[in-house]
Structure 1
Amino acid sequence: MKLRRVAIDTYHENVAYLHRDCAVYRAEGFQALSKVEVKANGREILATLNVVDDTSIVGCDELGVSEDAFAQLEVPDGHPASVSQAEPPESIPALFRKINGERLGREDFRSIVQDIADRRYSKIELTAFVVASNRSELDREEVYFLTEAMIASGRRLDWREPLVVDKHCIGGIPGNRTSMLVVPIVAAYGLVFPKTSSRAITSPAGTADTMEVLANVELPFDRMTEIVRQHRGCLSWGGTADLSPADDVLISVERPLSIDSPGQMVASILSKKIAAGSTHLVLDIPIGPTAKVRSMPEAQKLRRLFEYVAQRLHLSLDVVITDGRQPVGRGVGPVLEARDVMQVLENDPDAPNDLRQKSLRLAGRLIECSPDVRGGDGFAIARDILDSGRALARMEAIIHAQGDKAFDWKHPSLGKLQLEVRAPRAGVVTGIDNLQVAQIARLAGAPKVRAAGVDLRCKLGDVVSEGDVLYRVHASYPADLEFARQATVRHSGYRIGSADEVPQVFVEF
């Protein structure tokens, strides 16, 4: 059959297309959503079959494949290809046992994760695994087995350094671009900090999306390692490194279902960090009314699980519990967040102080991983590196090495369409809903439209008069602005009250 590229993005799922009147489809007894094996030029992939009735999509003598699948086969349009029914994944019996609520062992998880990494699971089977693991919560030994299996499913980097540091936040806080400040500070101190970050899936911007405003983030693996060896750090997209590939597939199911169970979160984060060659990790767990973690007991329980698995895998872990009551910084969206980062690096008097302080404290904790630094001295060292301009110089060097995008942070190019959301009455800002602010920024177009997002003018505890601007929404397209406007009418994300209603939070910094 002739291979045909079908220009459909199926998001981490290989999909094949056959016409209903195709002789092969009729002869082989294929069914829609069954798993098939596609071979072309010595390469083979597994794909989920879709059946079409329109010859303009796939002809009777053609085998269509989705964008992801076509890229993996690495052959031109029209190349000869074959298709056959795929054998069921060997790990299916283990999957059924987990669906029944049974506890799985090390080999069970290795089998399941390898089949996931090899794309032998359909979206239905992936969903069954994610939901079953969430419903009958994985015990800590199972989380360790799952993490170990996810590490083994892909590449594992070795930097040939005794100390390789990393920092990660469990997410859920808009504008929290501390990584883009921590990396240049810590790299300027001299520690190796190869930061591979993700793109946004359900948030208004991931670290990779914001860094892409400043520099190229899709780096070939060899170029990434070269930059790290030369500058002691990088800020790149992790999709090119093949680190814990099963995690990327699982995330494609977890995020649409809004499932973020503790066990899967621990396995996802630690597998990526260990596969990236990290020896020391600072983990940020924000707590707040609209954060992923809502209370200190919940945060402490999650911390213990992280620490148990990290200790079993010989990763030095420092967990910090931080303030997650509101967004960090002012900007929510790639360009706005990049502006905030550069303001802090430039020591601009208008730089958001909460972003600066949190970044300094996280950088200080990482610097204290060095045997030459006494505990408690890291913050002052980090502050000196930032204040002296050494962090800015290191960031500029990393940006230049990755490919400078010539971003003008003093006059950022924002979406020309604006909407101002104002205080309905006088009082004090007593609540900011992280989830709603993030949703409004996404409806405005972020992160796909980099210039879109939300620019916060007021934070918790600020005194406002009736009609004061709480935040501005930036969009580039009328439809996006209208979607965002409707969301602000339903719920602005802000609560106005009296000073004694501002929620307190106990953090470890």
Structure 2
Amino acid sequence: MNFCNLKGMLKVKDLDIATGGTKVVLINEKDARALDIHHMDRVEVNKGKKTITAIVDIAESAKAVPAGKIGLFEEVLEALKVKNNDVVCISNAPKPESLTHIKNKLDGKELTYEETACLVKDIVDEKLSMIELTSYVAANYTLGMTRQETLFLTKAMINTGNVLKHKTKIVADLHSIGGVPGNRTTMIVIPIIISAGITIPKTSSRAITSPAGTADTMEVFCPVSVPMSKVKSLLNTVGGFILWGGSINLAPADEKIIRVESPLSIDPEGQMLASILAKKASVGATHLIMELPVGKDVKLKNLKEAHHLKEEFEYLCKQLGIKINVLVTNSEEPIGNGIGPVLEAIDVLKVLQNFKDAPQDLRCKSLEMAGILFELVGKTKNGNGRELAKQILDSGQAYKTFLKMVKAQGGPIPDIKKLKPGKHSFDVLSTKTGRIKDIDNKAIAKIARIAGAPKDKHSGIYLYKHMGDKITKGEKLFTIYANSNIKLNYAKQANKQLTSYII
């Protein structure tokens, strides 16, 4: 029934609040009773030719939303292009078909491609409430996903977003499943690969539980969100880019699923596989290097877990037509010295500019990965890739390409002297003489986040010692940086409670 013919005409009240994704409207309880609308019901809100579906919340007082008005959050205002006191029409909306598929998954049934595609479309169109989407994510976490379900989810995520088309036959890409603080190899590998004439459109994520993601660190230099219209220009003029994946509508369901996973700190295997590979297929990747870090403080604890995941990636990539090389790496400690966007950006510039004090672990790992990618795409014979990567880095060509990329993405010429960590700092000193036996990745990451990273790009940790290094009593292990004394004190307290270094 369409209430426009009855009592479904309401005036807009701009609530000046965003929900962060889900479309929500607020209706006074008197209007809700008159229209037989209940909390969490769905309604269609119409203005002219524009109609959206939203979840209903009920206002129990006129102070929030008076009778005769409908409170609209920013997402709804933007979608309908309406303003305060405009008149809109509301009517009951049916429940999405995908709710049946979510219930089937909760009951342990395997979803078909059609069911998965329906569900992903509703996720992208924001027809599901956070509770409903969380139920789907939780079901995948507790019950798992079959290979077929993972493949179906991957394909559905690809088909609901943009897909980049390329003139070149070979399009390279690389990815690490993460968990290692620092490890900013991508920002060094990409300019090396582009310098050799290979297209590499890299979409990266922002940090969820780490002190920085590649997108967070790249943003220190230039914007990582650009309109889709500019993407082709970046590919044509530079040969690649480093952008935040959420900005160009590639596999858009992914960002919405991540929003649910993040507060729960869960990352179901099937969803992780689909998330990564949907984005790789969406950028048009034909050749992919996948890093699986293994260590006691990262996602994969042992080689058995890594080999299982390796087989899953290889199976899915075969189905998607992507040639993949999976690298299982030992990741018992952070890579590089800086932990946090600005501090990691300093490391990247030092490696690209061949500074003598550049972190050698970051340099060596970047050269290894670039070399393997050269060999995978057939640029060099097996065993010769690293040497080509080294020549490009040592010659300064990789740095020139990086500057070109930064400029094309709208950033100024990087100046390492202007990259300053947080104004408040605290040195953590060794309490004894010896050799560094262990570094806890999780502890280092937690302290850096408590200090303010990645939201405050200048906060984080700078490491002076790595595993195997000698240390004397009173010597600096690391420095904590923050932009407020309050956060610095919180980080100092966390450091006392955590064992970040074992000597």
Calculate the TM-score normalised by the size of structure 1: 0.92
What CA distance in whole angstroms lies between the structure 2 residues aligned with 1:216 and 1:163? 26
1:206 is the counterpart of 2:213: yes
Across the aligned residues of Structure 1 and Structure 2, the Cα RMSD in angstroms comes to 1.9
Give percent identity, aligned residues only: 39
Structure-2 change in CA distance of 1:87 and 1:383 (3 Å): same
1:225 is the counterpart of 2:232: yes
Output one character per residue of 1:367-411: Cα deviation in whole Å (capped at 9) or x when no partner: 223334212211111111000000000000111111124543134
1:473 is the counterpart of 2:446: no
Structure-2 change in CA distance of 1:280 and 1:55 (3 Å): farther
What CA distance in whole angstroms lies between the structure 2 residues aligned with 1:287 and 1:453? 23
1:337 shift after superposition: 0.9
Structure-2 change in CA distance of 1:338 and 1:83 (3 Å): farther
Partner of 1:506: none
What CA distance in whole angstroms lies between the structure 2 residues aligned with 1:139 and 1:366? 30
1:242 is the counterpart of 2:249: yes
Native 8 Å contact 2:340 2:461 kept in 1: yes
Native 8 Å contact 2:45 2:51 kept in 1: yes
What CA distance in whole angstroms lies between the structure 2 residues aligned with 1:203 and 1:40? 43
Structure-2 change in CA distance of 1:98 and 1:374 (3 Å): same
Please identify, of 265-274 and 8-17, the stretch whose mean Cα deviation from structure 2 is larger. Answer: 8-17
The correspondence for 1:402, drawn from 409, 415, 423, is: 409
Partner of 1:297: 304
Structure-2 change in CA distance of 1:466 and 1:63 (3 Å): farther
Q: Aligned to 1:348, what secondary structure does the other structure show?
A: coil
Native 8 Å contact 2:172 2:377 kept in 1: no
What CA distance in whole angstroms lies between the structure 2 residues aligned with 1:209 and 1:77? 36
Q: Aligned to 1:234, what secondary structure does the other structure show?
A: strand
Partner of 1:500: none
What CA distance in whole angstroms lies between the structure 2 residues aligned with 1:229 and 1:222? 12
1:82 shift after superposition: 3.1
Q: What are the within-5 Å matches in structure 2 for residues 19-58 of structure 1?
A: 19-21=28-30, 23=31, 25-53=32-60, 57-58=64-65
1:17 is the counterpart of 2:7: no
- Give the gaps of 5 or more residues in structure 1: 497-509
Structure-2 change in CA distance of 1:283 and 1:67 (3 Å): farther
Native 8 Å contact 2:325 2:376 kept in 1: no
Partner of 1:436: 443
What CA distance in whole angstroms lies between the structure 1 residues aligned with 2:484 and 2:16? 24
What CA distance in whole angstroms lies between the structure 2 residues aligned with 1:385 and 1:295? 34
Please identify, of 299-308 and 51-60, the stretch whose mean Cα deviation from structure 2 is larger. Answer: 51-60
Structure-2 change in CA distance of 1:79 and 1:276 (3 Å): farther
Q: What amino acid sits opposite 1:8 in the alignment? A: I
Q: Aligned to 2:393, what secondary structure does the other structure show?
A: helix
The correspondence for 1:109, drawn from 112, 116, 119, is: 116
1:56 shift after superposition: 5.6
Partner of 1:85: 92
Structure 1 runs of 4+ aligned residues shifted over 6 Å read none
1:64 shift after superposition: 2.7
Please identify, of 292-301 and 360-369, the stretch whose mean Cα deviation from structure 2 is larger. Answer: 360-369
The correspondence for 1:453, drawn from 460, 463, 486, is: 460
Native 8 Å contact 1:15 1:49 kept in 2: yes
Output one character per residue of 1:109-160: Cα deviation in whole Å (capped at 9) or x when no partner: 1122122122121111111111111212212122111111111121222113
What CA distance in whole angstroms lies between the structure 2 residues aligned with 1:291 and 1:317? 22
1:122 is the counterpart of 2:139: no
Please identify, of 74-83 and 279-288, the stretch whose mean Cα deviation from structure 2 is larger. Answer: 74-83
1:182 shift after superposition: 1.0
Structure-2 change in CA distance of 1:82 and 1:162 (3 Å): same
Native 8 Å contact 2:25 2:54 kept in 1: yes
Please identify, of 25-34 and 292-301, the stretch whose mean Cα deviation from structure 2 is larger. Answer: 25-34
Q: Aligned to 2:136, what secondary structure does the other structure show?
A: helix
Q: What amino acid sits opposite 1:152 in the alignment? A: N
1:88 shift after superposition: 0.9
Structure-2 change in CA distance of 1:39 and 1:327 (3 Å): farther
Please identify, of 85-94 and 60-69, the stretch whose mean Cα deviation from structure 2 is larger. Answer: 60-69
Q: Aligned to 1:385, what secondary structure does the other structure show?
A: helix
Partner of 1:330: 337
Native 8 Å contact 2:403 2:414 kept in 1: no
Structure-2 change in CA distance of 1:84 and 1:485 (3 Å): farther
The correspondence for 2:189, drawn from 182, 190, 194, is: 182
1:161 is the counterpart of 2:159: no
What CA distance in whole angstroms lies between the structure 2 residues aligned with 1:428 and 1:46? 61
What CA distance in whole angstroms lies between the structure 1 residues aligned with 2:246 and 2:29? 35
1:201 shift after superposition: 2.6
Native 8 Å contact 2:392 2:398 kept in 1: yes
Partner of 1:502: none
Structure-2 change in CA distance of 1:76 and 1:128 (3 Å): same
Structure-2 change in CA distance of 1:92 and 1:334 (3 Å): same
1:59 shift after superposition: 4.1
1:185 shift after superposition: 0.5
1:207 shift after superposition: 1.3
1:78 shift after superposition: 4.3
Please identify, of 214-223 and 300-309, the stretch whose mean Cα deviation from structure 2 is larger. Answer: 214-223
Native 8 Å contact 2:26 2:56 kept in 1: yes
What CA distance in whole angstroms lies between the structure 1 residues aligned with 2:255 and 2:297? 25
1:172 is the counterpart of 2:179: yes
Structure-2 change in CA distance of 1:144 and 1:381 (3 Å): same
Output one character per residue of 1:289-338: Cα deviation in whole Å (capped at 9) or x when no partner: 10110101100000101111110111111111112211111111111111
Partner of 1:283: 290
Q: Aligned to 2:416, what secondary structure does the other structure show?
A: coil
1:13 shift after superposition: 2.4
What CA distance in whole angstroms lies between the structure 2 residues aligned with 1:421 and 1:211? 28
Native 8 Å contact 2:406 2:413 kept in 1: no
What CA distance in whole angstroms lies between the structure 2 residues aligned with 1:224 and 1:231? 10
Structure-2 change in CA distance of 1:401 and 1:290 (3 Å): same
Native 8 Å contact 1:41 1:75 kept in 2: no
Output one character per residue of 1:444-475: Cα deviation in whole Å (capped at 9) or x when no partner: 11122111111111111222222322211111
1:54 shift after superposition: 5.7
The correspondence for 1:99, drawn from 106, 111, 117, is: 106
- Give the gaps of 5 or more residues in structure 2: 1-9
What CA distance in whole angstroms lies between the structure 2 residues aligned with 1:105 and 1:34? 27
What CA distance in whole angstroms lies between the structure 1 residues aligned with 2:80 and 2:446? 37
Q: What amino acid sits opposite 2:23 in the alignment? A: N
Aligned residues: 494
